[in-house]
Amino acid sequence: MGRKVILDVDPGIDDAMALCLALGNPDLEVVAITAVGGNVSPTQSTRNVQAIIEQLDPPRWPRLGAASEPDNRLAVDRRSLYGSDGLGETSFAVAERQHLLPSEKVICDQVRDAPHLVTIIALGPLTNIARAFIRDPELPALVGQIVIMGGTVSGPGNITPAAEFNMFCDPVSAQTVFRSPSTKTLVPLDVTNRVELGYDLFNRLPDESNRTGQLLRQLLPQAFRGYRQQFGLEGIHVHDTVTLMSVLRPELFTTKSMAGDVETQGDLTIGATVFDRRRAPAWRHNMEVVTDMRKNAVVEAIIDGLNGRFRHE
């Protein structure tokens, strides 16, 4: 059995690519996929998670968790990047499901079932993780590790000058998770931004006879359109996929122990991540932060993984 992971996602084409990579990887046992509002509304996010799983139809279906309205969410419009449904207007039909448990309950149950063994890979706002920690205060110490895509250490934000999208959407929850007594790794925007996939990606994906190839070939044109229209880029960033890769191939990434927190109030700075890097810091180190990666090797590992090729150094 591979490493047990929960993927907490807000698909989003970037999240969808990460799900393709995770569900095809024999090193991972994806015990649950929990939806959270972010790139799209909570309802749409839940629907998109179902649609992606149904399209990929992995040999073992993970538990699914339904997103609910967060208490503190700041509404952000991501439609121009990923389309109004978050999945490039693909409008996949999904089976009607009864009794989908709330994401935070699924997280609590899965962590309690395998204490210290579950890695949570958080690829959206931290609403569900914070709620799980509030619901079960012992949970932070029972999670094996949380790997978070979000924040920025030195570079600018991507949703305001100061804030990265996932932190900005729900900064109160992000702060709860940052301050919790859990083992955390942050994969910030300054690092994930360094990977830009160009149009040659289409020549390197599996073909339409493969479910991953079929799904990504439907989704990715919207991402390329969105990045060109919004940022003038002839390529796309895949923040969530790079973050997943830091779990699959940690030897390709450099980390540093740091003391991090999240701003929850400032007019200009709400959602900004702040690190105490003073010579004599007052804050305790509370997370590992990815500071560098072997970019070309990461890109190759992404392409290999999407094609079902898994290598280890």
> Judged by CB, which is closer to ligand BDR: 123, or 287?
123
Amino acid at 309: R
Could you say whether residue 123 binds ligand BDR (CB under 6 A)? yes
Mark 174-213 with x for binding to ligand BDR (rule: CB under 6 A) and - for no binding. ---------------x------------------------
Q: Is 254:225 a contact under the CB 8 Å cutoff?
A: no
Question: In the complex, what is the shortest distance from the CB of residue 293 to Ca ion, in angstroms, rounded to a whole number?
Answer: 18
* Number of residues binding to ligand BDR, judged by CB under 6 A: 15
- Say if residue 12 is preceded by a cis peptide, omega within 30 of 0: yes
Question: In the complex, what is the shortest distance from the CB of residue 150 to Ca ion, in angstroms, rounded to a whole number?
Answer: 9
CA distance 184 to 178: 8
Could you say whether residue 15 binds ligand BDR (CB under 6 A)? yes
> Judged by CB, which is closer to ligand BDR: 208, or 215?
215
For residue 302, the partner it binds in ligand BDR, Ca ion, none, with Cβ less than 5 to 8 A by kind, is none
Nearest to 63 by CA among 92, 29, 90, 87: 29
Q: How far is CA 17 from CA 44, 49, 80, 96, 239, in A?
A: 17, 12, 18, 24, 10
Question: In the complex, what is the shortest distance from the CB of residue 14 to ligand BDR, in angstroms, rounded to a whole number?
Answer: 4
Subset of 67-106 contacting ligand BDR (CB under 6 A): 78
Residue nearest to ligand BDR (CB): 165
Catalytic annotation present for 239? yes
CA distance 192 to 208: 28
The string of DSSP codes covering 135-160 is H-TTHHHH-SEEEEE---SSS--SSS
Could you say whether residue 170 binds ligand BDR (CB under 6 A)? no
Segment holding 32, helix H or strand E: strand 28-35
The residues pairing with 4 across neighbouring beta strands, listed in sequence order, are: 29, 118
> Judged by CB, which is closer to ligand BDR: 31, or 189?
189
Residue positions annotated with a catalytic role: 239
| Residues within the interface to ligand BDR (CB under 6 A) | 12, 14-15, 39, 78, 123-124, 149, 158, 164-166, 189, 239-240
